[in-house]
Amino acid sequence: MHIVMVGSGYVGLVSGTCFADFGHQVTCVDNDAGKIDLLNAGRMPIYEPGLEALVAENVRHGRLRFSTDLASAVAAADAVFIAVGTPSRRGDGFADLSYVHAAAREIAHALKGFTVVVTKSTVPVGTGDEVERIIRNARPDAEVAVVSNPEFLREGAAIEDFKRPDRIVIGADSERGAAIMAEIYRPLYLNQAPILYTDRRTAELTKYAANAFLATKITFINEIADLCEQVGANVQQVARGIGLDNRIGSKFLHAGPGYGGSCFPKDTLALVKTAQDAGTPVRLVETVVSVNDQRKRAMARKVIVACGGSVREKTIAILGLTFKPNTDDMRDAPSLSIITGLQDGGAKIRAYDPEGMEASRALLSNVTYAGDAYECATGADAVVIVTEWNAFRALDFIRLRAVMTAPVMVDLRNVYKAEDLKRRGFRYTGVGQAHSLSPTPDDEHATV
């Protein structure tokens, strides 16, 4: 099959590369000539584990190419996927569909022969109807089927998610369109990936409902964590206790500084707006959005309390900037609110992240960036783990304590056990634990 991906960002690049690896002929198109030049030079515009090697392999075998020429690519395509951005619109939080609509218009003028146009971008209910209207208005003679095929990729594990998905959702209102999609995904039959065929609107809503539910799980366990801190319980044990129930499950029950990234913040807002416009407000999701925003700001206050109630003129070392490990994505990352809150309190910020520092420079000011965790901690009055990168899971605490001004650890991801840090002479604050643990006088000189 000849496939075109319109948009060579995170979703388009990963999806297009994986389709090519299945044996399809794929052209990833983007109107950003700089991005296409970068890809043609073998360099990735995003960080995703394994992606660079997979791109190189499929380019070498002639199955994957990159271009700014949408018209030529679409003319030869069996299926054209729209994988452009749908950021939150300023003012009301609704998804900005201007890029989707523009892509639909450009695709319409280039269509030749029967073609399936697929919305891969996360879009509100009814977007497929509008895409079809745009195409048919521009090209009444076009043979086209408009299909919804939402993506369910986790940043940092996107290739594995694409090749071994929990499910594939295809919203098609025509048998001919569904047949083309079945052929595109035929290589996954060997993995027995469940394929759910629905109408277009159901597929569109399924994506939003999934992300809203996962965001709700995160927010729920974060609120339970706050309760644990007040009543003397441990949120990690509570999470394990409820997660062993198969009806609940253990995933997304890790207390922390709140969700961020490219999906949950904008998708929950878009779902709230869609529901309000439909006259059926989703009060639970509205609360999730509000609580999550408040939580990010509250994490700065947690650090200030751990530092004795003030961070003025103190140096705070931030380990981890991206919203999760194994990505360079800084969109709505909790670190942004935390660092801003600490700077408002008068703190000086040092930071280190394995992949996110370049992106963070455009979003944060007055931050000193370090080359590793120990350089970051040098002269610091506190170390704060914000993102649970593997590089932070086995720190040398003797070395860390030796370079710090004060042995204070604020672990917003509960990477470490409080008792272990106390034994090594640190004052430790985690999330969802009864209280911070301080070293005893003997512990102050501990070396192991």
Residues that are catalytic: 263
CA distances from 250 to 154, 386, 397 (A): 17, 21, 30
Chain centroid, CA 226 distance in Å: 24
Long-range contacts for 426-430 (Cβ within 8 Å, ≥24 apart)?
A: 426/397, 426/401, 427/306, 429/302, 429/305, 429/306
Helix segments in 50-198, DSSP class H: 51-60, 70-75, 98-110, 127-138, 158-163, 175-184
For tokens 């878009």, the residue is 270
Q: What is the dihedral of CA 186, 167, 134, 280, to 10 degrees?
A: 160
Beta bridge partners of 29: 6, 67
Q: What is the DSSP string of 243-257?
A: HTSTTT-STT---SS
DSSP H or E stretch at residue 284: helix 283-306
CA distance 438 to 428: 6
What are the tokens at 7? 């948009």
| 368, two tokens | 């000193």
